Structure 1
Amino acid sequence: MTDSDPEWRAPVEAPTPVTPVPFGKPWSIWAWGALLSTAGLALAISPDAALHLLKSPVEPTSLPWVRFCGLLLLAYAMGYHVAGWTGQRTYMRASVVLRVLSLVVIGAFVLLDWLPKAWLAVGLADFAGAVWTTLELRWRPKPKTA
């Protein structure tokens, strides 16, 4: 165990972004984080209604697990909010890969009849967000280092 430093104090102001975004906030990351937060809240609070939209009814005994997945989705969304707030380009680039792959995986699940076709809308929205983030990362040049 390490000794704590008595001179250390928490910062008073928010930290400077790791990689500043010169043209404002990375809106694609913020939007995707908001969408994930909304979906997570919907699954945690009202899973029947949320899953009805995706034509995915579940048995009442499965609802606690769906609610738990909603909470996990909220935790995942927090990563997007933090990346948007701090300008973490590495996280944003990694999210592009994961979000493109989600369309591939969801498409495969639909082809195998493991998911209803309505889930393709989720994969397509994810893919569109990945394209948007890619364009934003190209549009927002990295800051020059001295």
Structure 2
Amino acid sequence: MTVSDPDWRAPVDPPTPVTPVPFGKPWSIWAWGGLISSAGLALAVAPRPVLTLLHAPVETASLPWVRFVGLVLLAYAMGYHVAGWTGQRTYMRASVVLRVFSVVVIGAFVLLDWLPKAWLAVGLADFAGAVWTTLELRWRPKPKAA
């Protein structure tokens, strides 16, 4: 059972970033979160033009699933925005592993003819972002323990 405190209030100020950053934000994580948010919103709102751009035609019956994937991408992007806001280095390091692995998976799917070659651009952008995040994590000092 939880004890209620009537005087308790939620903090007004956002949390202090865990990682000191020179310009206030880890830019690679914010940029990737923005890109994923944009892709998710585009897929949720207008999936046909996005899929045409990626040479991935889809049947009309599949469009609700594509829109659902857009919403999942928006939720996934929220993790990047929160990590960028709070400076969560652990999340950032984990994202590097995931983003490097994605270019391998997308490349394999293209080689197996499961995806069109245009999808390699998505994998390469993901890989470039992973490299950028790695460089950013090495450049920024870790927070010092008090």
TM-score class, shorter-chain normalisation, is: over 0.9
Residue 63, structure 1, aligned to residue 98, structure 2: no
Percent identity for Structure 1 against Structure 2? 85
Which residue number in structure 1 is paired with residue 90 of structure 2? 90
What secondary structure sits across from 1:9 in the alignment? coil
Which residue number in structure 2 is paired with residue 37 of structure 1? 37
Which residue number in structure 1 is paired with residue 126 of structure 2? 126
2:19–2:89: 8 Å Cα contact kept in structure 1? yes
Q: Structure 1, residues 10-64: CA drift from partner, whole Å, max 9, x if none?
A: 0111111233324531100000000000000100000000111100010000000
Q: RMSD value over aligned CA atoms?
A: 1.2
In structure 2, distance between residues paired with 1:98 and 1:53: 24
Which residue number in structure 2 is paired with residue 54 of structure 1? 54
Q: CA deviation at 1:106?
A: 0.3
1:20–1:86: 8 Å Cα contact kept in structure 2? no
Aligned residues: 146
In structure 2, the gaps of 5 or more residues are none
The alignment's TM-score, normalised by the length of structure 2, stands at 0.95
In structure 1, the gaps of 5 or more residues are none
In structure 1, distance between residues paired with 2:113 and 2:5: 57
In structure 2, distance between residues paired with 1:4 and 1:79: 30
| Residue identity opposite 1:127 in structure 2 | F
